[in-house]
């Protein structure tokens, strides 16, 4: 049996992340050949990966990285099976290193085939599956390219990247704030203008039905009923709809006996409330239409415009699970 020096065991441990005993056993099996020992560990990883192929890698770490000139960002999720492993320092370091490498690629397939310390990323994941004993996978891979890209990561669970039409003064603050908004509020569209009309129509019907059903129970309990909206998105509120809403508001003021000379002071508030009550979908799904988390008196579009002639061009969000 070949005599294995402690220095070689340590070298293999640093190269692969495997435990000391696993490294020693691999070197013994490889008769001291370092490259063969790496192959031994890799084959062990393949066996473990095959056994755990049907496991869910729903824990892990979300990572966002932006290149040096801040024109490209990537967000990935390195998945594992348990929260315990997902919080491990070595696992988080691996996720960070993979994020740095991912910046050089535009899709997951190219990234998995890329060189990572003498093996492909895919092979590294298999190797580390053997080392850690849990299934590892790249569960998400998203990129954004723009004149300026900002990013934000929430406790390694959610990562967001966002592109802007140009770099402005205090762009770092703007980028972080908007990326934090994306991470926190989970928008899936940029604006209500991007929503599919068929989806809006279907969602309107479903939401109204749900509120009406809930109101039956509230009425039975003698509680205040919820407002049943006519619409849920600004995409449905045409000039004709607004004109009708204004007529209804005026009729309401007249019925209340409010003097016509003060209607101009009351009507704007009523119209704002009508729009607010009938755009709930936009506030949930559309980034620009959401209330800004740091100042709910304005929406995200207002916040972005406060930085000058700059617009959001694209955004991506990745999360565990």
pLDDT in tens, 30-39: 778 888 887 7
263 belongs to a structural domain: yes
Looking at the structure of the chain, the number of domains it has is: 3
Q: Which residue do the tokens 């995200």 mark? A: 300
291 belongs to a structural domain: no
- CATH code for position 131: 3.30.479.20
178 belongs to a structural domain: yes
206 shares a domain with 103: no
- CATH code for position 44: 1.10.8.10
Mean pLDDT of the chain: 91
List the domain range (segments joined by +) for residue 10: 6-51
172 shares a domain with 85: yes
Domain end point (choices 191, 218, 242): 191
pLDDT of residue 184: 96
269 shares a domain with 175: no
For residue 48, what pLDDT band results from cuts at 50, 70 and 90?
low
Give the side-chain half-sphere CA count within 13 A for 227: 11
168 shares a domain with 86: yes
pLDDT tens sequence across 219-269: 999 999 998 899 999 999 999 999 999 999 999 999 999 999 999 999 999
108 shares a domain with 63: yes
307 belongs to a structural domain: no
107 shares a domain with 70: yes
Domain end point (choices 51, 67, 82): 51
320 belongs to a structural domain: no
1 belongs to a structural domain: no
242 shares a domain with 123: no
pLDDT tens sequence across 282-302: 999 999 999 999 998 999 999
Q: 20 or 93: which carries more pLDDT confidence?
A: 93
Reported pTM: 0.80
210 shares a domain with 245: yes
Domain end point (choices 191, 226, 258): 191
Return the minimum-mean-pLDDT range out of 52-61, 189-198, 312-321.
52-61
34 shares a domain with 97: no
105 shares a domain with 32: no
177 shares a domain with 72: yes
pLDDT of residue 17: 66
97 shares a domain with 178: yes
300 belongs to a structural domain: no
């Amino acid at each position: 049996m070949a005599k294995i020096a402690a220095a070689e065991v340590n070298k293999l441990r640093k190269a692969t992340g495997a435990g000391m005993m696993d490294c020693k056993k691999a070197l013994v099996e490889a008769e001291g050949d370092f490259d063969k020992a790496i192959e031994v560990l890799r084959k062990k990883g393949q066996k473990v990966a095959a056994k755990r192929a049907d496991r869910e890698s729903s824990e892990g770490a979300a990572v966002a990285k932006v290149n040096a000139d801040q024109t490209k960002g990537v967000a990935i999720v390195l998945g594992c099976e348990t929260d315990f492993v997902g919080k491990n320092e070595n696992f988080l370091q691996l996720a960070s290193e993979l994020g740095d490498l991912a910046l050089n690629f535009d899709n997951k397939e190219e990234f998995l085939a890329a060189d990572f310390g003498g093996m492909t990323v895919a092979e590294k994941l298999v190797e580390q599956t053997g080392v850690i004993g849990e299934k590892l996978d790249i569960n998400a891979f998203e990129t954004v390219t723009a004149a300026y890209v900002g990013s934000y990561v929430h406790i390694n669970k959610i990562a967001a990247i966002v592109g802007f039409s140009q770099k402005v003064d205090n762009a770092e603050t703007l980028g972080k704030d908007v990326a934090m908004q994306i991470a926190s509020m989970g928008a899936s569209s940029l604006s209500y203008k991007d929503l599919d009309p068929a989806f809006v129509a279907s969602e309107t019907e479903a939401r109204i039905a749900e509120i009406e059903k809930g109101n039956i129970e509230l009425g039975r309990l003698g509680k205040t009923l919820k407002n049943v909206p006519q619409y849920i998105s600004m995409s449905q509120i045409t000039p004709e709809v607004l004109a009708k809403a204004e007529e209804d508001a005026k009729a309401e003021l007249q019925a209340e006996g409010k003097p016509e000379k003060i209607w101009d002071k009351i009507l704007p508030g009523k119209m704002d409330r009508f729009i607010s009550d009938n755009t709930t979908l936009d506030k949930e799904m559309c980034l620009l239409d959401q209330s800004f988390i740091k100042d709910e008196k304005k929406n995200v579009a207002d916040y972005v415009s406060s930085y000058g002639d700059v617009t959001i061009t694209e955004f991506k969000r990745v999360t565990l699970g």
